[in-house]
Every structure is written in structure tokens, then in C-alpha cells.
Amino acid sequence: MSSSATAAPLRQDARTIGLIGLAHGSSHFFHLMLPPLFPLFIRDFGLNYAQLGLLVSTFFVISGVGQALSGFLVDRVGARPILFAALSCFVLGAIATATANGYPGLFLGAALAGLGNASFHPVDFTILNKRVSQPRLGHAFSVHGISGNLGWAAAPVFLAGLTAATGSWRIASASMAGWAVFVMAVLWWNRDAIDDRAGAWAHEGGAKAGAAARTEHPLAFLQLPSVWLCFSFFFFSTCALSAIQSFASPALKSMYGLPFEATAFVVTGYMLFGAAGMVVGGFLAAGADRLEKIIGSCLLASAVLLCLVATGVLPGMVAAGVAAVAGFGTGLAGPSRDMLIKQASPPGATGRVYGTVYSGLDLGFALAAPIFGSLLDHGAASGVFYGSALTLALGVLSASLVGAGVARRRGGLKVAA
């Protein structure tokens, strides 16, 4: 019986899913290697927020460009060795930060961490698509998304807690390197479960499709409109995430007069609601034919909630709570989003497609922050929430066009058969 006809053992799939979740959570953990320590960098090195903001841009620009390129490398040499190289970059980036004596050292740390982050999505999704059986892919993508949210939530607590306990941000930064080494050790011990050369449960169209893919030019996938529509979807949806992560708290303070102590939980709440949404979203994605309908409904619901916050008519704490709850809709859409990209990927190009598409995430983070920050500087705090809602709506449009293309391709295959 072929592997496509029967699911792999649950324990085998769960092992792979758990390991990739650990790796992905670690990549998001390193997204916030620097920002929680910004006040201490200002104190110790005399830097300003413009200089520190450039460190964040450096991380995501290197990550975005590297992500698009690393997909080709993953398809050529395999995902597993690239994963270990990426974690090694995190170790070096954290050490560079811990030993920095000024801005150049911090810049080096940001660059190395960005380089490490570059390959995670092509690596993760290549391994999941090849190692996890089809009936459990929706749940695999759900765990993948949840682990990312948890990584974002853990980093500030980890850094602030260790800095407070030891009195040194350098020890906290060095401890991040220790975490990356620990993850590498766990993955090495279980390296057979993340070997993308084994498995391949025929997700990518079977032997004939694989043979056809090998005859195509490596850049042929760039001609597919679905790839660029997926890219645009990630760009728009990440612009909304960037706005909430960076500016929801000061925007709520400006609009509703809430103290920062009351608004600080909004980002954490948004991420935790997003993680809860991803749990439910995994079940929705596993049984859905038209994934773009799930994505559209969930993201539009979140956009409506953010618009409600932007009106200023809610009581202050209620507005903060509604902004946090909006994360549930974006979380619900996450697994369906990843499944839709898989459906839109041509055979044999999984790493390249995910690398190109997910570089839209890095571009969204890099460009959205100064735009939404400018809105706050000009007194348009409501624009943070209206703008987030608008970018979510544009993401829905992109997802709808991708879904329509997938449906047409399926219809063509049925007619050909």
C-alpha cells in the first residue's frame, strides 16, 4: 500500500511536528533578541531609538532577502542541514550581542540573527510537507503557528527575568545562545525525525509530477501568479501584525487615556488569543475544501473588531480587550493560510515557494513600523487600528484570488482526468 493511501503512525507524525514546533518557536524567540533590551542599550551605549530601530530593520531585511534565496538552497541540499546552520547563526548572533561594546557589535548581532531566521519557513514547511501524513498537515501547521506566537511571548519574559535576576543584560543575551545550543542538541538527537530525504508522503503530486518538476527551470515557479498573490497576502497581514505588536499600546494610551500598565497586556493577549485560534484553525483547515473562505471570514472578523476599537466609542479597558480578542481571528486563519500556500505550490518547489512567500512577512515587518509610527507622531492614533483593519482586508483579497486560482487548477485536472 502506498504512503499516500495510509497515514503514518501518530507517534511518528507527532514527533516531527513537535520538533519543528520547537525550532520555529525558537526562531520567533530570536525575533525579539534585541527590542526588550533597548532601554538598557540607550543607558549603556548612549543610543537613540532611531539607531535601535535600524537594528530591527537590519534583522528583517537580511531575513527577507535570505528567506527568498534560502528556499532554493533547501530544495537543492535538503532542509535538515540548513536548519542546523540557521541555529548556529542564532548562537553567534546572541554571543555577538552579549559581548557588544557599542553599536557595531549590536549591528553584528542583529545581522547574524537575521541570517539565522532567513531559512526557517522554507525549512519548516519542507520538512512538514514531506514528513507529516496528509490527514495531519492542518494540525501540523496549527502547531507551527502556535509555537511562533509562544516564542514571541516568551522572549521579553526570558530577557527581562534573567536581566533582573542577574543584574546583567549580557548574561541574559548569552543565555539566549545557550537556548539555541540546547535546541540544536535536541534536534540532533532526533535528527531522523526531521530528515526530509525520507518520507515524502506523495503530497507533491506523485512520481510523474516529481519527474516533471526536475525538468523545469528552478525559477519557473516565479511565473505563477499564485506565488506573488501569496507573497502579497503575507505582506498585508504582517503589516497589521507589526502595527499591533509595536503601537497598539501607545495608541490605546493616546485614544483612551489608559496607563501603559493597563495597555501592556494587549500584545501578549493578542498573541495568546492568536495561539488559541490556531488550535481551532487546525481542525478547520483539515476538513475544508475552499480555504480562502475560512481565511476571509476570520480576517474580516478581526478587521471589524479593530475598526470598532478605532472609533473610540468603547470604554477604555473594553477597547483594550477587544483589540486583544482580534488576535483570535488571525490565529484561526493561520493553518488555512499555510495549507493554501501548499496547494498553490508547484511540485518539487516547496522550499522555493515558501521562501519567496514568507519573505513578504519580513518585508511587512520592515516597512510597516515606520509608517504606523509616523501616524502616531502626527496624532493619528486611530490610524493604527484603521490601518491594521485595511491591511487585513487587502490580505483577504489576495487570499481570495489565490483560492480561485487553486480551484481553477483543480477543475482543469479533473477535466484532464
Nearest to 305 by CA among 392, 395, 399, 374: 392
306-357: pLDDT as tens digits: 999 999 999 989 999 999 999 988 887 777 766 666 666 666 666 677 677 7
Q: For residue 199, is it within any domain?
A: no
The answer to whether residues 353 and 397 belong to one domain is: yes
For residue 2, the model assigns a pLDDT of 40
Q: Are 131 and 38 in contact (CB under 8 A)?
A: no
Lowest average pLDDT, out of 16-20, 144-148, 301-305, goes to 144-148
Q: For residue 201, is it within any domain?
A: no
Q: Residues, the chain, total? A: 417
- Which residues span the domain enclosing 110? 14-136+147-191
In 40-107, which ranges are E strands? none
The answer to whether residues 358 and 298 belong to one domain is: yes
The answer to whether residues 356 and 259 belong to one domain is: yes
The answer to whether residues 267 and 153 belong to one domain is: no
Handedness of CA 94, 95, 101, 107 (dihedral sign): negative
Q: For residue 219, is it within any domain?
A: no
Burial (CB count within 10 angstroms: exposed 0-12, middle 13-18, buried 19+), residue 323: buried
Mean pLDDT of the chain: 81
Q: For residue 382, is it within any domain?
A: yes
Grid cell 487587502 — which residue?
394
Give, as one character, the DSSP assignment of residue 167.
S
Residue scoring higher pLDDT (390 or 381): 390
The answer to whether residues 169 and 229 belong to one domain is: no
For residue 321, the model assigns a pLDDT of 92
**Is pLDDT above 80 for 267?**
no
Burial (CB count within 10 angstroms: exposed 0-12, middle 13-18, buried 19+), residue 378: exposed
- For 154, residues 6+ apart whose C-beta sits below 8 A from its C-beta are 25, 29
Torsion of CA 354, 234, 26, 339, to 10 degrees: -60
For residue 242, the model assigns a pLDDT of 82
Q: For residue 409, is it within any domain?
A: yes
What phi and psi, each to the nearest 5 degrees, are found at residue 110? Answer: -65, -40
In the chain, the percentage of residues whose pLDDT exceeds 90 is 33
For residue 415, the model assigns a pLDDT of 43
CA atoms within 13 A on the CB side of 158: 24
Instruction: List helix spans (H) across 167-315.
Output: 169-189, 206-215, 225-256, 260-263, 265-286, 291-311
Torsion of CA 88, 113, 115, 274, to 10 degrees: 110
**Is pLDDT above 50 for 226?**
yes
Q: Are 129 and 113 in contact (CB under 8 A)?
A: no
The answer to whether residues 184 and 279 belong to one domain is: no
21-67: pLDDT as tens digits: 999 999 999 988 988 788 789 889 998 767 877 888 889 889 888 88
Lowest average pLDDT, out of 21-30, 124-133, 226-235, goes to 226-235
Helix and strand totals (H; E) in the chain: 16, 0
Residue scoring higher pLDDT (207 or 165): 165
C-alpha cell at 142: 496549527
Compute CA 379 distance to the chain's CA centroid, rounded to the nearest angstrom: 30
The answer to whether residues 240 and 356 belong to one domain is: yes
Nearest to 50 by CA among 369, 387, 381: 369
**Is pLDDT above 90 for 370?**
no
Q: Are 400 and 292 in contact (CB under 8 A)?
A: yes
**Is pLDDT above 70 for 412?**
no
Q: For residue 412, is it within any domain?
A: yes
Q: For residue 202, is it within any domain?
A: no
Average pLDDT rounded to a whole number, residues 127-155: 85
Grid cell 487548477 — which residue?
409
**Is pLDDT above 70 for 202?**
no
Rounded Cα distance, 34 and 247, in Å: 17
282-295: pLDDT as tens digits: 777 666 666 667 77
The answer to whether residues 120 and 269 belong to one domain is: no
Nearest to 88 by CA among 22, 177, 19, 174: 177
The answer to whether residues 29 and 163 belong to one domain is: yes
The answer to whether residues 156 and 64 belong to one domain is: yes
For residue 269, the model assigns a pLDDT of 84
The answer to whether residues 33 and 174 belong to one domain is: yes
Distances (CA, A) of 78 to 118, 122, 164, 351, 412: 15, 10, 41, 9, 31
Average pLDDT rounded to a whole number, residues 127-150: 85
- C-alpha angle with apex 323: 306 to 233, nearest 5 degrees? 55
For residue 260, the model assigns a pLDDT of 60
For residue 244, the model assigns a pLDDT of 84
**Is pLDDT above 50 for 1?**
no
pLDDT band at 109 (very low <50, low <70, confident <90, very high): very high
For residue 290, the model assigns a pLDDT of 65
Give, as one character, the DSSP assignment of residue 399.
H
Q: For residue 7, is it within any domain?
A: no
Residue scoring higher pLDDT (229 or 40): 40
For residue 416, the model assigns a pLDDT of 45
In the chain, the percentage of residues whose pLDDT exceeds 70 is 80
The answer to whether residues 157 and 249 belong to one domain is: no
Residue scoring higher pLDDT (284 or 188): 188
Residue scoring higher pLDDT (414 or 402): 402
CATH of the domain at 153: 1.20.1250.20
- Domain tally for the chain? 2
pLDDT band at 121 (very low <50, low <70, confident <90, very high): confident
For residue 409, the model assigns a pLDDT of 57
